[in-house]
Each structure stands twice: as structure tokens, then as C-alpha cells.
Amino acid sequence: MLIRRECREDVADIHAVTAAAFSRPGEATLLGRLREDQGWIPELSLVAEIDGEIVGHLVATRGDLAGRPALGLGPVSVSPERQRQGIGSALMHALLGAADAMGEPVVALLGSPAFYGRFGFVPASSLGIESPDPEWGDHFQARPLAAYEPGLRGPFHFAAPFDRQ
């Protein structure tokens, strides 16, 4: 398996993987909107490729934490027939390493605490990071990186396309 940055030729395959990975079409639509948004960070849009086939994708886009730059993660997609083979985990490790190397302070996401906890994500509220939607509870999580400062607290906002879902 190769984890690499997406390229222009991958867009249709990424859309197909994302559409197949989710039961609702909104995630693939969101991905297209994110790609057109000013919060898009090309270096943090990664694919997993096996034998020339795109089998997974994830992206982190520019978010805002109390007026300071932060990252919002998602969507994370793995082809249904390739799930539970470590592809999502490999993508997560690659993205967190890349974000850390870029000097990003924190990554936030909405997802399963049981899954994302193994990558160092904790309930964002435990770090003083406020969810865009209080009903998300502990499903809104954050992962501090090396550049994180404990004083970095307050309301978090994902890239604008997340608001149009």
C-alpha cells in the first residue's frame, strides 16, 4: 500500500470511494465543496493506493479555533471491500505526521471516540475546545500536535462547506 498526496487524476476515483464508503451521498458532495474552498490544503489530502487502485482517502482542511488556525479532519473514506485492513489507520498516521511536520497545532473531528481515541484524539471539551454543535458531545474530538499550546481554547469552526451539509 502506498499513501501519497492526491493528484488531479485521482479526483473521480476519490469521489467514487467516498460515495461507496458512506450510506448517504452528502460526504462525496462535501468533499467536492471542500476542494473548491479556500480552506483546502492540498498537502493534507491523502490517498491510499494498492496496485494502482485508490482504496482510501482522507483530508484535513483549514479550520478556526478562537481566531487561530487549526485543522478539521474529514471525510475519511475507505472502499467498503477494503475496510478493516488497516487502510484508514495508515491514512490517519500519515495525515497526523504531515500536519505535525507542517507546524499545525491541533486537528479536530466528529467521529467515534472508540475508533479515533487510538490515534490520540480526546473529547475536545477536555482541552477547552468548544464544539460547533453542543449535541455532538464526546464525538467532537481533538488531537493536539507538537505546536499545540494549552492556552489554545475556545470555539472551533470547520471550513465553510461543513456548514452547508
The pLDDT of residue 164: 73
The pLDDT of residue 30: 92
The pLDDT of residue 165: 56
N- to C-terminal Cα separation, the chain? 32
Name the pLDDT band for 82 (thresholds 50, 70, 90): confident
- Answer with the residue of higher pLDDT: 82 or 97: 97
Domain positions in the chain: 2-164
The pLDDT of residue 23: 80
SS3 111: coil
The pLDDT of residue 58: 97
Strands 68-78 and 106-110: parallel
Give me the CATH topology for the region 2-164.
Aminopeptidase (3.40.630)
Which residues fall within 8 angstroms of residue 25, CB to CB, at 6 or more apart? Answer: 19
Q: Which amino acid is at 9?
A: E
Mean pLDDT of the chain: 95
Residue 108: is its pLDDT beyond 80? yes
Q: Check residue 153 and report its DSSP letter.
A: -
Q: Where are the alpha helices (DSSP H) in the chain?
A: 11-21, 26-36, 87-101, 113-116
